Amino acid sequence: MKLNIKKLVKSAPKEEPKKTTPKKETTKELPPDTYKPMLKERELQISDTAKLVFSVSRKGDDGLPHIDIRLHITSEQYTGLTKKGINFDTEYLYDFMEIVADINKELEKMGA
């Protein structure tokens, strides 16, 4: 005996839709300057056509300050910031600076 699925579906008792109460939206109110630079950008020229751009702006859901170090190039095809770079919370700035200082000490010992 073959089961006729269409008949089973039609004859199945219809479930009443579940009543749900709308959830209250709890979005955080971010400062009006969210995602705008917090400090003046600094630049480090590394060649005739490239420079590093250092900036601090608010990012993420909480709008907390982040440090962004991005490569800026100038060429015939493109002029502007590239995807090459790093971005991190300001809470890691001290650790970042210690790592760079350690690298610098090691390079000085090597005579570089």
pLDDT of residue 75: 94
Quick check: 23 pLDDT over 60?
A: yes
Number of structural domains found in the chain:
1
23 located within any domain: no
28 located within any domain: no
40 located within any domain: yes
Count Cβ atoms below 10 Å from residue 74 Cβ, excluding itself.
12
pTM above 0.75, yes or no: no
Read off the pLDDT of each residue in 74-86 and give the average, rounded to a whole number: 93
Q: Cα–Cα distance between 103 and 100 in angstroms, integer?
A: 5
- Residue 78 structural domain: 33-105
pLDDT of residue 103: 95
For 51, the token pair is: 């420079």
